[in-house]
Structure 1
Amino acid sequence: MNDAAADGIESVRRIVRVRGRVQGVGFRMDAASAASRLGVGGTVRNLLDGTVEADVEGPPEAVESMIEHLRKGPSSARVDGIDVRREAPRGADSFRVTG
């Protein structure tokens, strides 16, 4: 059980696919920094089709703040759009950069 669930706070999970100029511009590191600041868990990775996928989990307000951050990304990126999918929480309590 993660800390949010232990504290009686609902946890939500969203899979966010980010399209645009988002690879090779520091997007994943920027996302990891934002996740740490916002207190969400999950992962962020580059996909073969040129998009970035973030799997974000935590308290609803923190996850929504993370999604808003991903809509913009770092100043070196150009986000053309995002797709958000709801998933069942898995209990992620740390955030890491993968692939």
Structure 2
Amino acid sequence: MKEVRILRQVNVIVSGRVQGVGFRVFTQQLAVENEIVGWVRNLDDGSVEIEAQGHDMMMEKFLKQLNKGPSFFAKVKNMEVTEKEVTHSFQKFDIK
């Protein structure tokens, strides 16, 4: 039986100690490793926003790793994941 690959798009707001600790670069590396496309950017309130698109199994892995954070210095306190309708296909994963 062939594996069904469902394309997902999510918006993620990550809060905690996530700016100035390499979180955006970490997110981009995770995205590339997990075949996720989209973007990541810092928000004015100190949180980080991610728009990510990828196949279901890879997205789950990406979100779990994201929740751990990149290093001792980063601390993810909360991750708000919102499922979105897949509207268009991103070409790569960008840091904004």
**Uncovered stretches (5+) of structure 1, i.e. residues with no partner:** 1-7
Of 41, 45, 52, the match for 2:41 = 45
**Uncovered stretches (5+) of structure 2, i.e. residues with no partner:** none
Match of 1:4 in 2: none
Deviation at 1:49, TM superposition (A): 0.7
Deviation at 1:34, TM superposition (A): 0.6
Cα root mean square deviation, aligned: 1.2
Structure 1 residues 1-99: aligned runs within 5 Å: 9-75=5-71, 76-89=73-86, 90-98=88-96
Query: Helix, strand or coil for the counterpart of 1:64?
Result: helix
Q: Aligned partners of 1:56, 1:82: CA distance in 2, in Å?
A: 14
If each structure's helix is expressed as a fraction of its own residues, which one has the higher value? 1
Amino acid at match of 2:34: L
What stretches of structure 1 move > 3 A for 4+ residues in a row? none
Query: Helix, strand or coil for the counterpart of 2:13?
Result: strand
TM-score, normalised relative to structure 1 = 0.86
